[in-house]
Amino acid sequence: MSIDPLLQLLRRKARHSHGELAELLSLSEEEVRARVDTWEQDGTIAGYQAVIDPERAGDEDVSAFIEVKVTPERGGGFDRLAMRIARFDQVTSCYLASGGYDLMVVVEAGDLREVARFVSEKLSTMEGVVSTATHFRLKTYKENGFTFEHADEPERLAVAP
Supply the pLDDT for residue 31: 95
Low-confidence ranges of the chain (pLDDT < 50): none
- pTM, two decimal places: 0.80
Centre a 10 Å sphere on the Cβ of residue 103 and count the other Cβ atoms it contains: 21
Beta strands in the chain (DSSP E): 62-70, 91-96, 103-109, 129-136, 142-143, 146-147
Spatial distance between the Cα atoms of 106 and 83, rounded to a whole number of angstroms = 13
**C-beta of residue 140 within 8 angstroms of C-beta of residue 106:** no
**pLDDT score recorded for residue 155:** 60
The predicted structure's pLDDT at residue 2: 84
Q: What is the pLDDT of residue 55?
A: 83
Q: Which pLDDT score is estimated for 148?
A: 87
Which amino acid is located at 4 in the chain?
A: D
**In whole angstroms, how far apart are CA 128 and each of 27, 29, 49, 91, 98?**
49, 49, 32, 18, 18
CA–CA gap between residue 59 and residue 109 (Å, rounded): 11
Q: Rounded to whole angstroms, how far apart are CA atoms 70 and 68?
A: 6
- Residue 64 pairs in a beta bridge with 107, 136
